Chain A
Amino acid sequence: SAVISQKPSRDICQRGTSLTIQCQVDSQVTMMFWYRQQPGQSLTLIATANQGSEATYESGFVIDKFPISRPNLTFSTLTVSNMSPEDSSIYLCSVIGQGKETQYFGPGTRLLVL
């Protein structure tokens, strides 16, 4: 199984600022995703992080608000820009395992925006 780490694990931020979340995987993976889980809710896909090209965003999410980088097959970053209290959420990195029969999640980054 893939081991995924995320930094930071949690943060408290001021309105209007930006936070960059890092995701590191212990092996090369083709597919990496960023999800959001708002308090008491299930997971919502933000975007697919594509290596070497722009991320593919889901409806309701835009690059200006959630810029994503994926410089190689083991690392990705998600930036939450110009934050508001509505962005308070858990942000999770996810990867598909070899053979596509598994999909793993990182430990998540708990963000609180004041």
Chain B
Amino acid sequence: GQNIDQPTEMTATEGAIVQINCTYQTSGFNGLFWYQQHAGEAPTFLSYNVLDGLEEKGRFSSFLSRSKGYSYLLLKELQMKDSASYLCAARNTDKLIFGTGTRLQVFP
């Protein structure tokens, strides 16, 4: 079967670091995506990992372990504008299977 798990909600303080975890089970795995979605808007692409390891892109980094079916998104130097939902999605062949999303609230 296919299953993507991530926490429903997280809170953090401005300037802090937060790690959002995602575990997945899917056949035909072909990459792990992270998206940011602000309320009322479409998802915005953040990162793509297909090989094990850490991909760093400014304040955001994404990690993948294929053997463990595990990924995380790391957000550094949090800003108020980072308050949003973060969606983990595993690619099965060419199709993206989404988790339920993690709603992150950043407080001053």
**Contact residues of A with B, CB < 8 Å?**
1, 31, 33, 41-45, 48, 58, 92, 94, 96, 100-108
B87 touches A102 (CB 8 A): no
A92 touches B42 (CB 8 A): yes
Of all chain B residues, the one with the shortest Cβ separation from A92 is B42
Which of B44, B50, B97 has the most chain A CB atoms closer than 10 A to its own CB?
B97
Sample of 21 A–B contacts (CB below 8 Å): A31-B94, A42-B87, A42-B99, A42-B101, A43-B43, A43-B87, A43-B98, A45-B95, A48-B94, A96-B94, A100-B31, A101-B31, A103-B33, A103-B45, A103-B96, A104-B45, A105-B43, A105-B44, A105-B45, A107-B42, A108-B42
When distances are taken between beta carbons in the complex, the residues of chain A under 8 Å from B95 are 33, 45, 48, 58
Known: A42-B87, A45-B96. 7 other contacts (CB 8 A): A92-B43, A101-B31, A101-B48, A102-B45, A102-B48, A105-B43, A105-B44
B79 on the A face (CB < 8 A) = no
- Which residues 80-104 of B sit at the A interface, judged by CB distance below 8 A? 87, 89, 91, 94-101
Number of B interface residues, CB 8 Å? 21
Which of A103, A104, A105, A106 has the most chain B CB atoms closer than 10 A to its own CB?
A103
Of all chain B residues, the one with the shortest Cβ separation from A94 is B96
Complex formed: what's the CA distance from A56 to B94 in Å?
Answer: 12
Min CB–CB distance A89 → chain B (angstroms): 13
Min CB–CB distance B26 → chain A (angstroms): 13
Complex formed: what's the CA distance from A106 to B41 in Å?
Answer: 10
When distances are taken between beta carbons in the complex, the residues of chain A under 8 Å from B35 are 105
